Amino acid sequence: EILLTQSPGTLSLSPGERATLSCWASQSVNNNYIAWYQQKPGQAPRLLIYHASSRAIGIPLRFSGSGSGTDFTLTITRLEPDDFGVYYCQQYGKSPRTFGQGTKVDIK
Amino acid sequence: QVTLRESGPALVKPTQTLTLTCTFSGFSLSNAGMCVNWIRQPPGKALEWLARIDWDDDKYYTTSLKTRLTIFQDTSKNQVVLTLSNVDPVDTATYYCARSLPSGYDAFDVWGQGTTVTVSS
């Protein structure tokens, strides 16, 4: 099973700042099959990024994904107040599919 | 418009079997490349993928719960059912069903709103 470790645990930033979220895999992720989700309290997760760097339908350009192998990054340029929530990475290169423990983004 | 909706009991007793139903619309699980998954989230914790069923009726389960999980589909009703046997309080969670990307890749593009299940005597 591939273990995903996310860093930092919490990120407190002001609107307009840049957020950089990291996801490390315990082994190389096949074909960089990494997805990123945003989850707000009481809501289901929302797909942001798949295949490490492809934006899902309707996702703003300020969200971008990068990385390969075992190191992946989600970047949110110019944070907006609505970007608060918990962000999860997930791998689907190997079964069972696994998620990271999440990074909480607080907007100051 | 693609939608999924979970339903099931809010409370189950330890050792019982939990049965959850995902009713979906806007796509057909008979179409090649379509897959539906179950994912759960204990209170305040991370997401955990549980199971997947494919358009060709192939089924996949997470390793740690494989002996307790069963997933099947009712094509005529556009439903996917998940059963979890011998439940324990650690199975208390919000259970989501979600569709994989239409190409069959397991990034989950549409989710239900979730159903909360408490296991307690």
DSSP, res B89: G
Phi, psi of B87 (to 5 degrees): -70, 155
Q: Determine whether the interchain pair B46/A45 forms a contact, defined as Cβ–Cβ distance below 8 Å.
A: no
pLDDT band at B60 (very low <50, low <70, confident <90, very high): very high
Span B84-112, average pLDDT: 96
pLDDT band at B76 (very low <50, low <70, confident <90, very high): confident
Span A59-86, average pLDDT: 96
In a mutagenesis test of the B interface, which of A97, A98, A101 is the best target, namely the one with the most B β-carbons within 10 Å?
A97
β-bridge pairing B115-119 and B11-12? parallel
The answer to whether residue A69 scores a pLDDT higher than 90 is yes
Q: d(Cα A59, Cα A63) in Å, to the nearest integer?
A: 7
Q: Determine whether the interchain pair A98/B108 forms a contact, defined as Cβ–Cβ distance below 8 Å.
A: no
The per-residue pLDDT for B11 is 98
Residue B56 amino acid letter: D
> Considering only CB atoms, which residues of chain B are within 8 Å of chain A?
37, 46-49, 52, 60-63, 96, 98, 101, 105-109, 111-114
User: CA Rg, chain A, in Å?
Assistant: 13
The per-residue pLDDT for A107 is 86
Q: Please name the member of B105, B106, B113 whose beta carbon is closest to the beta carbon of A44.
A: B113
The answer to whether residue B20 scores a pLDDT higher than 90 is yes
The per-residue pLDDT for B46 is 96
The per-residue pLDDT for B104 is 82
Residue of A58, A5, A80, A37 lying closest to B106 (CA atoms): A37
Residues of A in contact with B58 (CB under 8 A): none
